[in-house]
Structure 1
Amino acid sequence: MARIDYFHEPDAPAANSVVPAVVALVQNPAGQVLMIRRSDNGRWALPGGGHDLGESISETVVREVREETGVEVEVVGLTGIYTDPGHVMRYDDGEVRQQFSLCFRAHPTGGELRTSAETPLVRWVDPPELPELDIHPTMRLRIDHALDRTRTGPYIG
């Protein structure tokens, strides 16, 4: 399903849903970040997705990372809560979703890199290479907050 992100754009459609979602900054022992290329908008992002009924939010993180990348993870902390009403995503089925995303840090515990229908490319990226990738500004903000070891608590905004 195609997706268009609107970020503080005056012609953005009005939101008609809110779905809690997660992303995870996963770093391997070499310090590389697990990144996916999304099939819905072609941009690079942290792995993640929508929260399902019947699971804890940390179970959502583990499930989404495994589904999108093949990597098993352990959640180690929350780095931010992102609820900017000026960021909406329009899907081709008519849904216009207001951003509601929780960003977590996680460590890999197993599995092997693989792609999925949602993620045609999956790779480990050295942090200095991240600016070379096409990453939406709100995803870049999550990555920057998660990599910032000087933060004393999660970003809330």
Structure 2
Amino acid sequence: MKLTSDMLIITFMLIFILMMNPLLMGIMLLFLSLMISIMSGYLLNNFLFSYILFLIFISSLLILFMYMINIESNIFNNSLNKIIMMIMMIYIIMNKNYSLILSFMKIKMLNLFLFQKFFIFPNNLMIIFIIMYLFMTLTISLFIIKIKFGPLRK
């Protein structure tokens, strides 16, 4: 599994170098951040840090997406072939190691109950705090944007 995820991360990084469109770069960063979050969760045996890391990546990518949509809304995308090649490479890699992935998932399903400790009394306060913080940042960003001022471009 580690070899497969390392190969996926290297593939995403190589394809990221070939991207010229900022929107596609954001999509590649999304996939890359997802893989890094999953790997850090497995390495630390604690997915809370990787969950927070992924939420930070997603929020920054949403800001990038909003900026690119407001600035360049009618971009012709000619790099669809690169994405198709990437998906085919990922499919070949994942199909080759399918039995290895299934056995690894069975082992990790046994450790699923370890995640429940975050929802028991002392730790659930931290989860509630994180949810409130994310909600507060969402409302603050909505007040900053103020829809009545219109788009960013003039």
TM-score range, shorter chain: under 0.3
Q: Larger radius of gyration, structure 1 or 2? A: 2
Q: Whose relative contact order is higher, 1 or 2, with alpha carbons under 8 Å and at least 6 apart? A: 1
Per residue, is there more helix in 1 or in 2?
A: 2
TM (norm. structure 2) is: 0.21
